[in-house]
């Protein structure tokens, strides 16, 4: 699918007349992270759109760091919905896809009937947590991701750093394509440099929202997740998964699918 001159890999599946669900992946795994979630959503009568986002689709891999600014990522998602003729959808995001989902819901509330975010709190809740909890220490890896030569370090020794973090060999394979990991890291480089506060500023969300957080996530603490309710002005549900690490779509697909299905009943 082509949007603004970029060609995105998009998978559409599920009952033809079901309510639409747009699923946005995070770093560094593409839309395959939702593979175990999708059948459960289809069984619930939902029709899904899984987008391999800018940098992850080989045909949507522009060379400049500035090409990965949040504004472009938001426009991509809206552009895909427009190309498909989808007036509104349930919005789902994990990790970086969660950050993007908050921005989409905050800036385009008329396009989404509900929001389900896994792991990543509202950007304002993240700001609060960075100032008053251990979240700054948890997020310290970001400086390594934006540093020069991060690609080589992350892929060294057969991708040992990423594999230790929980990325599987199958998920690692697409990142070995020329320019793929650089494009994925450019999400960090474009948005966590310069005026970060202005770049990440996000309106409160006024649609029904669920935040799914796992208590064994080393990167994202409870404070930034639970406090997201302060910035969700409609119905807010905070769901805690015990003993699950950061990779909620892969490690707890049934629980995530259940929360998405619950949100699909609110229109």
Q: List active site positions.
A: 95, 188, 246
Q: Which two tokens stand for residue 142?
A: 């970001």
Alpha-carbon distance 48 to 98, whole Å?
17
Backbone angles phi, psi at 24, to 5 degrees: -115, 125
Alpha-carbon distance 74 to 96, whole Å?
12
Task: Tell me the C-alpha to C-alpha distance, in Å, between residue 73 and each of 6, 79, 160, 165, 212.
Answer: 12, 10, 29, 25, 22
Q: Do the beta carbons of residue 241 and residue 212 sit within 8 Å?
A: yes
Q: Do the beta carbons of residue 183 and residue 55 sit within 8 Å?
A: yes
In degrees, rounded to 5, the angle at the alpha carbon of residue 95 between the alpha carbons of residues 90 and 97 is 45
| Close Cβ partners of 56 (under 8 Å, ≥ 6 residues apart) | 9, 25, 30, 31, 174, 180, 183, 184
């Amino acid at each position: 699918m082509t949007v603004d001159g970029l060609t995105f890999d998009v998978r559409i599946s599920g009952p033809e007349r079901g309510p639409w669900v747009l699923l946005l992946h995070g770093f560094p795994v593409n839309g395959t992270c939702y593979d175990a979630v999708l059948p459960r959503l289809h069984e619930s009568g939902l029709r899904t759109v899984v987008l391999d986002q800018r940098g992850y689709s080989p045909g949507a891999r522009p060379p400049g760091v500035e090409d990965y600014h949040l504004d472009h990522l938001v426009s991509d998602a809206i552009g895909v919905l427009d190309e498909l003729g989808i007036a509104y959808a349930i919005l789902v995001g994990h990790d970086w896809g969660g950050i993007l989902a908050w921005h989409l819901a905050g800036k385009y509330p008329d396009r989404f009937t509900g929001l389900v975010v896994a792991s990543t709190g509202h950007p304002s809740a993240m700001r609060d947590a960075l100032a008053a909890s251990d979240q700054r220490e948890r997020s310290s890896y970001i400086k390594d991701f934006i540093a020069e030569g991060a690609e080589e370090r992350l892929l060294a020794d057969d991708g040992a750093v990423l594999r230790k973090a929980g990325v599987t060999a199958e998920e690692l394979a697409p990142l070995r394509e020329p320019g793929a990991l650089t494009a994925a890291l450019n999400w960090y480089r474009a948005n966590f440099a310069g005026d970060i506060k202005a770049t990440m500023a996000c309106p409160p969300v006024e649609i029904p929202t669920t935040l799914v957080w796992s208590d064994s996530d080393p990167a994202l603490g409870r404070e930034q997740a639970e406090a997201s309710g302060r910035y969700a002005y409609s119905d807010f549900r905070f769901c805690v998964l015990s003993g699950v690490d950061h990779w909620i779509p892969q490690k707890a697909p049934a629980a995530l699918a259940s929360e998405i299905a619950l949100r699909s009943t609110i229109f």
